């Protein structure tokens, strides 16, 4: 049976891709951010996952406002990104794990999660940049299954439901009849708001409480409504739902091995958390 090795939760900001393309990792602005990933990369080199299930939110590259699934899952042999308008170079394609994708689709639909199944799917900066931060040589050593949660067009799924989706994914992965080590990624947040009168809104106190909660009381954030979360962390900070889904996918005990929190990267409070699954 498959084994869940742990989870990496991280922010995603297009400017990170610009910094990678220009080689700015050691510049004073970027160093505290990029340095945060070294311990995660060491852990990955030791743990050697075969597959990554990636909870992320699309920003209009694959799904636009005319058709917006609440939950979608990739079931493609390969995933590519494309020009999102940020001027970022496209990264090498990502190999899909079709067997795990279809296993998850069957299991999640049986579990009453009405996933939109995507046999073709473009993945945007929310997917590609965390991968490039974890594997800077961009020779991806894992097959991937993208799981997309809507955070751009209201109504959004509740925090509690996103956590339950994560739990259903975790159960399904553990029931997957494959000799595979599975990593769970969650990318988005933490606090940020890009538009309107609250543009630039950050909330360090809430972000840190949220990070703490993922080990001490993983259901803490599920007690907030979407509107209350948006008030706390901003209209894009709501992307922290991806962290909550990823945490839900780790059944049983976890150990926090590493974290980093750095304000700001572009308009975003950037967070990074590594949880090892101790079953
Ligand atoms: C920024 C952050 C995001 O999460 C995003 O998707 C786009 C831009 C930013 O802070 O610039
Ligand atoms: Fe985003």
Using pLDDT thresholds of 50, 70 and 90, give the confidence band for residue 252: confident
Q: How far is the CA of 16 from the centre of ligand 1 (A)?
A: 10
Q: Which residues contact 278 (CB under 8 A, 6 or more apart)?
A: 252, 253, 254, 255
Q: How far is the CA of 14 from the centre of ligand 1 (A)?
A: 6
Look at ligand 1, atom 1, and give the residue with the nearest C-alpha: 13
128, 266, 269, 270, best to mutate for ligand 1 pocket (most atoms within 8 Å of CB): 266
The 10s digit of each residue's pLDDT in 222-250 is 999 999 999 999 999 999 999 999 999 99
The 10s digit of each residue's pLDDT in 108-167 is 999 999 999 999 999 999 999 999 999 999 999 999 999 999 999 999 999 999 999 999
Judge whether residue 3 has pLDDT over 90: yes
What's the predicted TM-score (pTM) here?
A: 0.98
The reported pLDDT for the residue numbered 245 is 98
- Picking from 187, 96, 95, 180, the residue whose alpha carbon sits closest to that of residue 138 is 95
Residue 266 near ligand 1, beta carbon < 6 Å: yes
Residue 235 near ligand 1, beta carbon < 6 Å: no
Residue 57 near ligand 1, beta carbon < 6 Å: no
Residue 59 near ligand 1, beta carbon < 6 Å: yes
* Integer Cα distance of 214 and 217 in angstroms: 6
How many structural domains does the chain have?
A: 1
Q: How far is the CA of 121 from the centre of ligand 1 (A)?
A: 21
* Integer Cα distance of 188 and 273 in angstroms: 12
- For residue 146, how many C-alpha atoms fall within 13 Å in the half-sphere facing its CB? 36
Residue 18 near ligand 1, beta carbon < 6 Å: no
- 191 vs 87, higher pLDDT: 191
Using pLDDT thresholds of 50, 70 and 90, give the confidence band for residue 262: very high
Q: Provide the b/e sequence for 195-209 (b: ≥16 CB within 10 Å).
A: eeeeeebbbeebbee
Bridge partners of 277, per DSSP, are: 254
Domain that holds residue 143: 3-277
Judge whether residue 279 has pLDDT over 90: no
**What CATH number has the domain bearing residue 100?**
3.40.830.10
Residue 268 near ligand 1, beta carbon < 6 Å: yes
- Picking from 268, 190, 256, the residue whose alpha carbon sits closest to that of residue 7 is 256
Q: How many helices (H) and strands (E) does the chain have?
A: 9, 10
* Integer Cα distance of 226 and 79 in angstroms: 30
Q: Which atom of ligand 1 is nearest to the CA of 59?
A: 6
Looking at the CA of 56, which ligand is closest?
Answer: 2
């Amino acid at each position: 049976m498959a084994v869940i090795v742990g989870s990496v939760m991280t922010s995603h900001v297009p400017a990170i891709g610009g910094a990678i393309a220009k080689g700015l990792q050691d510049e004073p602005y970027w160093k505290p951010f990029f340095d945060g990933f070294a311990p995660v990369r060491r852990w990955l080199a030791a743990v050697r996952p075969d597959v990554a299930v990636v909870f992320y939110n699309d920003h209009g590259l694959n799904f636009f406002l005319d058709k917006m699934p609440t939950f979608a899952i990739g079931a493609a042999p390969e995933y590519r990104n494309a020009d999102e308008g940020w001027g970022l170079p496209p990264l090498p394609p990502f190999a899909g794990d079709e067997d795990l994708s279809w296993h998850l689709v069957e299991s999640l639909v049986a579990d009453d999660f009405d996933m939109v199944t995507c046999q073709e799917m473009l993945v945007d900066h929310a997917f590609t940049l965390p991968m490039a931060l974890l594997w800077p040589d961009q020779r991806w050593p894992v097959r991937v299954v993208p799981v997309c949660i809507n955070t751009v067009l209201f109504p959004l799924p509740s925090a509690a439901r996103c956590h339950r989706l994560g739990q259903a994914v975790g159960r399904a992965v553990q029931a997957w009849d494959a000799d595979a080590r599975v990593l769970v990624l969650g990318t988005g947040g933490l606090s940020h708001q890009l538009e309107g009168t609250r543009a630039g809104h950050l909330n360090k106190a809430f972000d840190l409480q949220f990070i703490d909660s993922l080990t001490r009381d993983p259901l803490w954030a599920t007690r907030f409504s979407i509107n209350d979360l948006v008030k706390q962390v901003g209209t894009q900070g709501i992307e922290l739902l991806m962290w909550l889904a990823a945490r839900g996918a780790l059944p049983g005990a976890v150990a926090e091995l590493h974290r980093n929190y750095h304000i700001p990267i572009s308009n975003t409070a950037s967070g990074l958390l590594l949880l090892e699954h101790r079953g």
